[in-house]
Amino acid sequence: MASNEEITGPISQEDVEAADKLKNEANEYFKKQSYNNAIELYTKAIEKNPKNAVFFANRSIANLRLENFGYALSDASKAIELDRSYTKAYYRRAAAYMSLGKYKLALKDFEYVTKVRPNDQDAKMKYTECNKIVKKIAFEKAISVDKKEVNIADSINLDAMTIEDEYVGPALEDGKVTLKFVTELMEFYKRQKKLHKKYAYKILIDVKAYLQKQPSLVDIKVADEAKFTVCGDIHGQYYDLMNIFKLNGLPSETNPYLFNGDFVDRGSFSVECIFTLFSFKLLYPNHFYMSRGNHETLDMNRMYGFRGEVSSKYTSQMADLFTEVYNWLPLAHCINSRVLVMHGGLFSKDDITLDDIRKVDRNKQPPEDGIMCELLWSDPQPMLGRAPSKRGVGCQFGPDVTNTFLQRNGLDYVIRSHEVKNDGYEIAHDGKCITVFSAPNYCDTMGNLGAFITMNGKDLKPNFTTYEAVPHPDVKPMAYANSFFNMLCQ
């Protein structure tokens, strides 16, 4: 990002006009949802005229759309510093705080606006709505403290759930997932039908029981001539997930897969995605792998739609059970002791080993720093060294950091996901840090390709398959997201 430093000299009229022109061009890109181009032009406008709060506030919302919450926060704060009365900048900062799960700080911004503009009904309404969220979360926390020992999976009474005669969907056989079940389930979901809650709960309970026995870092062995596939973010894009299986074959003992986090949120078919993936996990536990992403967390699910979707299609109790299950997802996988796969990236310290990852106590919401946080949130950067994260969580790491980590741990390269890429993948750090993102035309707006990686066990050379988005029923992304957050990001 461009420096936000004040300049001491006066700004010429010529620069002011040039900056306004750049801002208008950027606004056009923003309307077309071409956020990277918009950011580039807002940055150029700021370079011409760093004293205009609007440029920073506009760049802030573009960064919010790209999930660069750290940059969005810093830009909104700069806009406020330049113009204390600029209401929109407070809204942008509040949205950034909320994206980072800092609801009380968001509330402070709304409170400030209501004080300086007591007759602003919109500000009053946003303050009230944010206050409700803060109180609800405080209430949920209080309840969870009171019920510390309550385990949701253990409290579900499956025997009390009856399968109604009119239910004609897929059924577990003797309580077990079979290939017939999962094949029928995928077709059932394509027709926008809903799996019976008894089977849904049973799958979650069984997956949790399995995952609890797994280490935080799972070692995967792939035979020399065997094929192995790694997929990146799916983000609730069920019909694109089905397209991956069409292009690359269904998961099986001879066609193993690793899905590298962010199965849910944003896309409005997240329930369908996660139950399909969990069914394959139960069917082929040693040939189908799933890593935790930063969206398999409570704060993200609360804001970006998954919690709302589960509560709408099932119950809020099931949403709580999902949180319990996600806490047990492994944080990373190591293929043939040579390739490390994690959702986010590497670390703020140089001395981290694979054993350190194995020892992480993962049964919790990710902390704001440390190994677990960085595995889920970090991103690579082209520059050497490290930098604060554009997301406001984790860190950014350069090619030297990647090299040091690989040498220390005897690895060839790392695969991570977590970032939209135009081609569905990106090879960085001299081929040693690969990003794969499997949700094409992310959120129906980004126009990117999706990709997956295939390799054989012998040389582990990554091969990339890219594909375009396929049509899906007319349910918009973020349909179940927190409506207040959506309103803030307009």
Distance between CA atoms of residues 336 and 219, nearest Å: 7
CB atoms within 10 A of CB 313: 17
Pairing of strands 332-335, 288-290: unpaired
- Identify whether residues 100 and 192 lie together within a single domain: no
Residue 376 maps to a domain: yes
- Identify whether residues 431 and 451 lie together within a single domain: yes
What the block records as the tokens of 189 is 């979901």
Domain count, the chain: 2
Assign 3-state DSSP to the chain and report helix, strand, coil percentages, each to 5. Answer: 45, 10, 40
Runs of H (alpha helix) within 328-394: 354-358, 371-377
- Return the CATH number at 301: 3.60.21.10
- Identify whether residues 159 and 129 lie together within a single domain: no
Residue 6 maps to a domain: no
Which of 99, 116, 144 marks a domain boundary? 144
- Identify whether residues 196 and 48 lie together within a single domain: no
pLDDT, position 5: 46
Q: CA-CA distances (angstroms) from residue 304 to 284, 344, 364?
A: 30, 18, 19
Which of 88, 110, 144 marks a domain boundary? 144
Would you say how long the chain is, in residues?
490
pLDDT, position 138: 84
- Return the CATH number at 111: 1.25.40.10
Residue 426 maps to a domain: yes
pLDDT, position 297: 96
In angstroms, how far apart are the furthest CA atoms of the chain? 78
Residue 367 maps to a domain: yes
- Identify whether residues 273 and 221 lie together within a single domain: yes
Evaluate whether 369 touches 443 at the Cβ level (below 8 Å).
no
What are 464's strand-pairing partners?
453
What the block records as the tokens of 20 is 């306004």
Residue 2 maps to a domain: no
* Distance from chain centroid for Cα 309: 16
What the block records as the tokens of 404 is 């040091």
235 part of the active site: no
Tens-of-pLDDT digits for all 490 residues of the chain? 544 444 457 889 999 999 999 999 999 999 988 899 999 999 999 999 999 999 999 999 999 988 899 999 999 999 999 999 999 999 999 989 988 889 999 999 999 989 988 998 888 888 898 898 889 888 877 776 555 557 899 999 999 999 999 999 999 999 999 999 999 999 999 999 999 999 999 999 999 999 999 999 999 999 999 999 999 999 999 999 999 999 999 999 999 999 999 999 999 999 999 999 999 999 999 999 999 999 999 999 988 999 999 999 999 999 999 999 999 999 999 999 999 999 999 999 999 999 999 999 999 999 999 999 999 999 999 999 999 999 999 999 999 999 999 999 999 999 999 999 999 999 999 999 999 999 999 999 899 999 999 999 999 999 999 999 999 999 999 999 877 766 666 6
- Identify whether residues 277 and 335 lie together within a single domain: yes
Which of 111, 144, 177 marks a domain boundary? 144
- Identify whether residues 59 and 93 lie together within a single domain: yes
- Identify whether residues 109 and 228 lie together within a single domain: no
Residue whose C-alpha is closest to residue 454's, from 297, 259, 228: 228
Evaluate whether 220 touches 335 at the Cβ level (below 8 Å).
yes
Distance between CA atoms of residues 95 and 105, nearest Å: 10
Distance between CA atoms of residues 228 and 360, nearest Å: 26
> Which amino acid makes up residue 486?
N
Domain, as residue range, for 84:
13-144
Tokens 């750290």: give the residue: 70
Residue 418 maps to a domain: yes
Residue whose C-alpha is closest to residue 291's, from 214, 388, 371: 214
Catalytic residue among 235, 295, 333, 343: 295
- Identify whether residues 184 and 45 lie together within a single domain: no
Distance between CA atoms of residues 95 and 74, nearest Å: 12
